Amino acid sequence: MMREQVAQTPASDMAPTLLALRGVGKVFSNGVTALSDVDLTIREGDFLSLLGPSGCGKSTALRLIAGLSTPTSGVLDWRGGGSLDRANIGFVFQEPTLLPWASVFDNVWLPLRLKGISRAKAAPAISEMLARVHLTGFEDAVPRELSGGMKMRVSIARAMVTKPRVLLMDEPFAALDEITRFKLNNDLLELWQDERFTVVFVTHSVFESVFLSNRVVVMAARPGRVFDELAIEASYPRDEAFRTSPDYAALCRQASDVLVNAIDSTAGSHHDSH
């Protein structure tokens, strides 16, 4: 059974739409249909995961949302028209992609520096973000001195230092060990609950998507498409007690069943675009 305390769940259905993808398709010049007819509504404050097998178009969808790529059919309808200012979107990749010669502090300064903000003027925002990702005291360290988890924390701080309304995350924790991943999941949720931005999170992991999200969108491949969506009606904050609860296990089983069906649908598909 699901939890009763749905009152603390973000009221996704009630929140205003931030972005609607309508009939979105992406065909690459080599003929690969990465996405076909995707309809998806992202609401303010959602923690929405895109879950699916390799090649179902998760990263392509994220790149379209980021404005790094354009659809070959359909539209992305941002609330208030026009696309969001690029400064209003933060992006975190699986690789932390830090400047190797620059300190933690200077890595986080980078997006502000690109906006013409001096180091001194940026300092309070940088220190605050480093505190939020639990890196106070590591300002002067360089990336090679940091663990994988710490590098990812720097990457998150860098993405969030401009206070974007939307954070796009492409398998950010996939390369980390499980304990580090759990910690980063907890800390990301804390940040999200405090700051109330919108997250679109790409993952292969059923467990991670259910733990984090209020909505899990399951995708299927060939062609890449939305297969189904699950509402994760468990209250926040979600902590270690939730991670070991029967509710969590039941929700993971449900998501896993949908994912298996999505994969089976591809296995039987005649739409092979490769």
Interface positions with ligand ATP (CB under 6 A): 28, 30, 32, 34, 52, 54-60, 224
User: By C-beta, is 89 or 218 nearer to ligand ATP?
Assistant: 218
Q: Compute the least distance from the CB of residue 121 to ligand ATP, in Å.
A: 38
Helix (H, G, I), strand (E, B) or coil at 37: strand
User: By C-beta, is 58 or 158 nearer to ligand ATP?
Assistant: 58
User: Can you read off the two tokens belonging to residue 159?
Assistant: 């993405």
What long-range pairs does 121-125 form, CB within 8 A, spacing at least 24? 122/161, 125/161
User: By C-beta, is 12 or 36 nearer to ligand ATP?
Assistant: 36
Residue pair 213/254 in contact (Cβ under 8 Å)? The answer is no
In order, the DSSP letters of 201-214 are EEES-HHHHHHH-S
Q: Compute the least distance from the CB of residue 56 to ligand ATP, in Å.
A: 4
Q: How far is CA 138 from the centre of its chain?
A: 25
Q: Compute the least distance from the CB of residue 52 to ligand ATP, in Å.
A: 6
Q: Compute the least distance from the CB of residue 85 to ligand ATP, in Å.
A: 24
Q: How far is CA 49 from the centre of its chain?
A: 6
Q: Compute the least distance from the CB of residue 238 to ligand ATP, in Å.
A: 24
User: By C-beta, is 33 or 107 nearer to ligand ATP?
Assistant: 33
User: By C-beta, is 84 or 220 nearer to ligand ATP?
Assistant: 220
User: Can you read off the two tokens belonging to residue 128?
Assistant: 């605050």
